[in-house]
Each structure stands twice: as structure tokens, then as C-alpha cells.
Amino acid sequence: MPAYKLREAAAFLGVSDDTVRRWVDAGRIAGLRDGNGHSVVDGAELAQLAEELAAAAPRPDVQPVVLESARNRFTGLVTRVVRDAVMAQVEIQAGPHRLVSLISREAADELALEPGVTAIAAVKSTNVVVEIPKR
């Protein structure tokens, strides 16, 4: 089991050594002793606390989008979502256009994408094939 010195734990969490000591004393995170008698914290427990702190932190950097460089935006209905452990394939029907996107499963879950949900496919590509149909 990986264990971290309180100083290392504090650096991972973005807090002071004293804050980690107080959390250990209060039982928020379990304190242990290493083979040399130094105070340490369990790595798995530290990772769990880091996730909890990140989830509770305010996100001032996340603002609503008011302008975007993608010019091709297709509003439609999600018709299919295929999830695996890491990725999700999302199909959107926007009028006669079927758009397929591969995104992370985490993003699909956060957006609550399911068939019937209204979604916007914003397309920005540096590689667009132009074809001429047979007349």
C-alpha cells in the first residue's frame, strides 16, 4: 500500500501540512506510522479525499459559453448512445443529418445523454472532404 508523508499529502491536496495534521487529528483521514515512526497517510484514502475536495470546490473557471469558433452547429435528438468502460458513441439526428461522435464515457454520463435528449453537435474540423456528385 503506498503511503505519503503529511508534507507530500498536503502538496497533492493544495493545503498546508498543518491542515493535513488537523484532518488526521479530527479523523477526516487516517494517520499511520511508517517503519521509521514518521506520520503518513494511506495513498488510497488520500486519493479519495482529493476527489471529494475537488468535487466540492467552486469552479470559477467554468463560465457559460457566449461565443464559439465552431460555425457548424447542428441541433437534434440523441438517437443512440453506446457506452463501454471508457468511451461512448453518441448518435444525433439533426434533420436529415446523422452525426456520430466519440466522447469519453464520463462526458456522456455528465451530460446525461440518452435517446430523446436534445443536443447540439458543434463541428470544428481542419480536415473536410469536398465531393462533387455525379450529374
What distance in Å separates the CA atoms of residue 134 and residue 118, rounded to the nearest whole number? 35
Distances (CA, A) of 68 to 40, 45, 104, 121: 47, 40, 21, 13
pLDDT recorded at residue 62? 67
The number of distinct structural domains making up the chain is: 2
132 in a structural domain: no
31 in a structural domain: yes
Higher pLDDT, 74 or 109: 109
pLDDT recorded at residue 37? 93
34 in a structural domain: yes
| pLDDT tens, position by position, 55-95 | 887 777 667 777 777 788 888 889 999 999 999 999 998 88
133 in a structural domain: no
Mean pLDDT of 105-126: 91
98 in a structural domain: yes
Q: What number of CA atoms fall less than 13 Å from residue 21's CA on the CB side?
A: 6
Query: What CATH code is carried by the domain that includes residue 119?
Result: 2.40.50.100
**Is the pLDDT score of 42 beyond 80?**
yes
pLDDT recorded at residue 82? 98
Domain extent, residue 89, equals: 72-123
